[in-house]
Amino acid sequence: MEINCDDHLNKIADLFCDTEVDFEELAKSVKKILLAIGEDPEREGLQDTPKRVAKAYDELLSGYRADPKKLINNALFDVAYDEMVIVRDIEYYSMCEHHMLPFLGRAHVAYIPTNKVIGLSKIPRIVDMFSRRLQVQERMTRQIAEFIDAVLEPAGVGVVVEGMHMCSMIRGVKKHDSRMTTSAMLGVFRTQMGTRMEFLNNISRGAQSLHF
């Protein structure tokens, strides 16, 4: 099934940017940070650090430049199936927008099709599109659910995200074992307790705690 509503997909993807990363400006900024903390950016170990950081940021924040239409790539299929589809334990890596430190964990996604399903690999790619940005976990969880809901128009979507946040583990309160769980329930996942519990029971079965 072809999607030809580019503007609509860009809108629900939120903050889609089709410009290139300015590596030169990023590298200059990193050099300024090194100087500001009292380091010597010309010493051997740091000479290429600004360029390395610029390349790393391009990868870590690649979600801004993930084209939602190319991501879906016509991978929607008409299938006579109306039971729950679950993709669990999707690893993700993101960056906290408050301190620009990483947070990472697992996302669990479910939907109940009405008249179409999406290719299996696309759901982890949707998670990546929203996680590889400056984020807060609450917003990211909602964005994943709303994007899938808009693309598939299913009977419902459920998303649960677990995360470990470096901003609370290595600074501030320094609580290494703290974990954060967020959820977004749309359609029947919100209105029908049985549907929601089926999803939650499935993702809790055999689940292990997040750890390094």
148, 194: one domain: yes
Does pLDDT of 114 surpass 80? yes
The packing angle between helices 23-36 and 49-60, to 10°, is: 120
115, 25: one domain: no
Does pLDDT of 211 surpass 80? no
* Catalytic position from the list 17, 167, 192, 198: 167
pLDDT at 105: 96
Residue 86, domain member (yes or no): yes
Q: Is 5 a catalytic residue?
A: no
Residue ranges making up the domain that contains 182: 75-204
116, 143: one domain: yes
* Catalytic position from the list 108, 135, 137, 162: 137
Task: Report how far apart, in Å, the C-alpha atoms of 113 and of each of 85, 128, 129, 153, 154 are.
Answer: 8, 22, 22, 8, 5
Instruction: Report the CATH number at residue 52.
Output: 1.10.286.10
Q: Is 83 a catalytic residue?
A: no
pLDDT in tens, 121-179: 999 999 999 999 999 999 999 999 999 999 999 999 999 999 999 888 888 887 777 89
pLDDT at 207: 65
Q: Is 162 a catalytic residue?
A: no
Q: Is 96 a catalytic residue?
A: yes
Question: What tokens appear for 71 in the block?
Answer: 């991501």
Q: Is 176 a catalytic residue?
A: no
Residue 6, domain member (yes or no): no
Residue 158, domain member (yes or no): yes
Does pLDDT of 204 surpass 70? yes
pLDDT at 5: 55
188, 86: one domain: yes
Residues whose CB falls within 8 Å of the CB of residue 131, separated by 6 or more in sequence, listed in order: 63, 92, 93, 94, 107, 140
121, 95: one domain: yes
Q: Is 17 a catalytic residue?
A: no
Q: Is 137 a catalytic residue?
A: yes
Does pLDDT of 3 surpass 60? no
Q: In this structure, are residues 187 and 155 in contact, taking their beta carbons and an 8 Å threshold? A: yes
